[in-house]
Amino acid sequence: MKKNLAIVLDIGGTNIRLALVSSERGILHKLKEPTTNEPLKTIHRMLEVASEIHTNELAGIGIAVAGIVDRQSGVIVKSPNLLSLNGVNLVSEISQNFNLPVLIDNDANAATYGEKTCGAGMKYENFVMLTLGTGIGGGVVINNDLLPIAAEIGHMTIITNGNKCSCGNTGCLEAHASARAIVDYAITRLKSGLESLLATLYNGNYFKITAQDIYRIALEGDSLARDALREAGKSLGIGIANVVNIFNPQAIILTGGLIGSWNIYVDSAIKEASRRSLPELFTKTTIIPSLLGDDAGIIGAANLVFRRFSQQN
C-alpha cells in the first residue's frame, strides 16, 4: 500500500495552519486559525480535527515552525514569536497521540524544500531562498538537497552599529530589511515631522500602518514611503551579496509579503547586491520570486514526510 498522504502543521507567528497533502494531488484540505498567545491550545484543537482522518494512506505528520528547531530531538529550541513553545518537544507529544511518524523543521527550511520539489527551485541544483515578511528567514539547497543548517540569514549582522533586532543583536539583516523594519523607518520619520501621505492614513494612528500601505503610497510617488522601501532594499542587497559570496547559488528565490513591492524594494536590493558581490559570482546568480508563495512551507513539510517516511510504513 502506497502511503501518499501527509498531515502538515504549519506554525507561524500570525497563523497556525493544518493541511492534508497528497503526494500526487497537492494540498487537499487546509484549516487556518490565528496564532494566539496560547498556540499549544490551538495546535491541540487542530490535531483533534486531524485525528478524524481515517485512512491507511497516511505516511506521517510534518511540522513546520517559525523558529530554531532541533530536528533530531524534535524540540523547538527558540521561537521568538511563539514564546510559549520554547523548549516544547512537539514531535514526541504528537507521536504519542497519533500512530504515525512525526518530523519537525524550521518553516523557511520547509518552504525551501517545497520550492525545490514543486516550485521555482525545481530546475536548480543549488539555490538559497529568503522569506521576506515580518521577519526574514532562509533555506539553502546544495547538490539538490536541503542543507540541515539553521540558515538564520535574517540574523546575519550587516551593519555593526545598526538597528536593535528582536534577537537581541544590533544590525541584523532582519532589523533593516523586514516589513517591521520598513514600518519602523516610516513611523520614525513621520514622528519627526516629515511630510508624507502616510500621515493621512488611519486618522493619524501611525501604528496601524503596514508595509503594504507603504508600498501603495510609494506607488503614488510619496518620497518618505519610497525611501523606506529603498533603504530596506539596500540592506536586503547586502544580505543577498553575502549569500552570493558564501554560497554562489545558481538562484536566489525570494518569497513573502514584501516581494509584492518588487519594483522598488527588490530592485534596489539587486542594485546594491550587484555592487557588493564578487562580480564573477553575482553574474551567475538569478534572482527570482517563489512559485508556491504561502503554500511552500506546507508542501515542503509534506514532501519531507514523503521522503523520510513513505518507504518505512
Helix, strand or coil for residue 33?
A: strand
Among 40, 68, 187, 291, binds a second copy (CB under 8 A): 68
CB 19 within 8 A of CB 29: yes
Site string for a second copy, 78-117 (x = CB under 8 A): x---------------------------------------
For residue 11, the Cα-to-chain-centroid distance in whole angstroms is 11
**Contact by Cβ (8 Å): 178, 136:** yes
Burial of 229 by CB count in 10 Å (0-12 exposed, 13-18 middle, 19+ buried)?
buried
Please tell me whether residue 236 binds a second copy under the rule CB under 8 A: no
Residue from 38, 73, 148, 164 that binds a second copy (CB under 8 A)? 148
The answer for residues whose C-beta is within 8 angstroms of residue 25's C-beta and 6 or more apart is: none
Burial of 84 (0-12, 13-18, 19+ CB in 10 A): middle
Single out the residue of 27, 40, 159, 194 in contact with a second copy (rule: CB under 8 A).
159
Q: How far apart are CA 154 and CA 70, in angstroms?
A: 19
Rounded least distance, CB 157 to a second copy, Å: 5
Residue 238 as a binder of a second copy (CB under 8 A): the answer is: yes
In the list 10, 105, 115, 152, the residue contacting a second copy (rule: CB under 8 A) is 152
Question: Does residue 275 bind a second copy (CB under 8 A)?
Answer: yes
User: What is the β-pairing status of strands 76-78 and 68-69?
Assistant: antiparallel
**Of 107, 170, 168, which Cα lies nearest the Cα of 136?**
107
Q: At 248, list the grid cell.
A: 554562489
Q: Binding to a second copy by residue 271, rule CB under 8 A?
A: no
**Residue from 157, 166, 210, 313 binding a second copy (CB under 8 A):** 157
Taking the complex as a whole, the smallest distance from the CB of residue 143 to a second copy amounts, in Å, to: 7
In 3D space, the residue among 275, 285, 188 whose CA is nearest the CA of residue 238 turns out to be: 275
Query: Should residue 278 be labelled a site residue for a second copy when binding is judged by CB under 8 A?
Result: yes
Q: Looking only at residues 160 through 219 of this chain, which bind a second copy when binding is defined by CB under 8 A?
A: 160, 162, 167-169
Among 102, 190, 199, 241, contact with a second copy (rule: CB under 8 A) = 241
Using the rule CB under 8 A, give the single segment among 39-47, 90-98, 141-149, 301-309 that binds a second copy. Answer: 141-149
The contact set with a second copy (CB under 8 A) reads: 68, 77-78, 126, 138, 142-143, 147-153, 155-160, 162, 167-169, 235, 238, 241-242, 245-248, 275-281
